Amino acid sequence: MRKKKIITNLLIGNLTLVFLYLLGKFQIIYDFTEVFLWVIVSPIIFGVFLFYILRPLNRLFTKKGIKNSIASTITIMIALIIFGFIIMHFGRYLSEQIYYLKELITKNVEEENIVNIGKEYLKNNSITGFIENISKQFMGYISLFFSNLREMFNKGMMVFSNILLVILVTFFLLKDGGEFKQLVLKYSPEKYTEVTGEILDGGDTVLSTYIIGQATVALSLAIMIFIGYKLIGMPSALLFSFTTFILAFIPFIGFLISMIIPFIIATTLGSSMLIKLAILFLVAQTLKGRVVVPLIMGKIMKIHPITDIFLVVGAAALGGPIAAFCIVPVYSLIKVILKKLREKKILSFPWDVDKTNKV
């Protein structure tokens, strides 16, 4: 009987995979999935992320006796003001630093006489033909720009609508997030009410711990890197440390990716800068792995580092940076659900049956 059940489950699983594979062959399904992920799933992900970041501030206002709706509005307004100030200030700084880096790289390349290769090319080839080729390419880029102007406008409107959706999702989670558990319990079967409540509490703890902890780790790492850049004399220290802060939300590989451009810049500044940057990277990585992450994240996630690495790398290959960011909390949520269902004897695994038979 048990073998028959296993065969039935395997058959259902294989048929499901075949069905999903065939669905992927239809272009309309692919387009619908892409729009669904971009328009609905992405704003929800970022909205949940901001909700857990801003929830401590919102709770501070509600503890002062402010109504939840007003507290949520104040919290969102404060967040928008802070983000707006950062974007305005950092946008100007970013343009200045990009221009500075361009001039720095050009200067170092010219000092190494690498530009002589281009001069030799111009000497040995027709200058007239070279100029005509550049002109044709320039006109082609202008035509391409105007032909894609409508598409660029549509993309811009989609980005704006997504930002608006993220703000709305965050606001309503702050305002009505406390009622979500009661709403789910209201519609869950009576015999599963207890386990459903435990799953919701465990999931909330996992998400809160991961998001706030990862944000704290990213900020700590960015501060360490900024101080290190200043000590070794790395140009555009604030720009590169801000990049580290953003990418550090992706576990393990995010910090490695954030160091690619600084290493490229360091190669143009000489071997001494390259060595100093390599030492800084090793020190920062060691402090992150041995001190910062254990101190802030603790053992609450209960995921082995090897498992974490495989999850993040696989998710990044399949779904990009958003999938890499989401995979660890999603994996932890699945673990919480399976653990609670197993404890309540609602779900069992083959090895559980084997242990029972041995006893």
Q: DSSP code of 39?
A: I
Q: How far apart are the first and last CA of the chain?
A: 21
Residue type at 317 in one-letter notation:
A
Residues 6+ apart with CB under 8 A from 245: 218, 219, 221, 222
Q: DSSP code of 192?
A: G
**Which tens digits make up the pLDDT trace of 130-189?**
545 655 565 565 555 555 666 666 666 777 788 888 899 899 888 887 788 888 888 888
Distances (CA, A) of 260 to 99, 224, 278, 304: 19, 17, 11, 26
Nearest to 353 by CA among 14, 9, 6: 6
- Two tokens, residue 152: 């660029």
Q: Does the pTM exceed 0.85?
A: no
Residue spans of the chain under pLDDT 50: 113-115, 117-118, 120-122, 124, 127, 131, 356-359
Distances (CA, A) of 338 to 70, 195, 201: 38, 11, 14
Dihedral angle over CA of 191, 196, 199, 201, nearest 10: -120
Nearest to 242 by CA among 228, 263, 258: 258
Distances (CA, A) of 29 to 22, 113, 255: 10, 54, 35
- Phi and psi of 148, rounded to 5°? -100, 10
Nearest to 196 by CA among 187, 205, 185: 185
Query: What confidence score (pLDDT) does residue 115 get?
Result: 46
Query: What confidence score (pLDDT) does residue 228 get?
Result: 93
Query: What confidence score (pLDDT) does residue 114 get?
Result: 46
The domains of the chain are located at: 41-113+132-187, 188-349
> Under DSSP, is residue 359 helix (H, G, I), strand (E, B) or coil?
coil
Cβ distance 193 to 67 under 8 Å?
no
Residues 6+ apart with CB under 8 A from 157: none
Classify burial at 235, counting beta carbons within 10 Å of its beta carbon; exposed 0-12, middle 13-18, buried 19 or more: middle
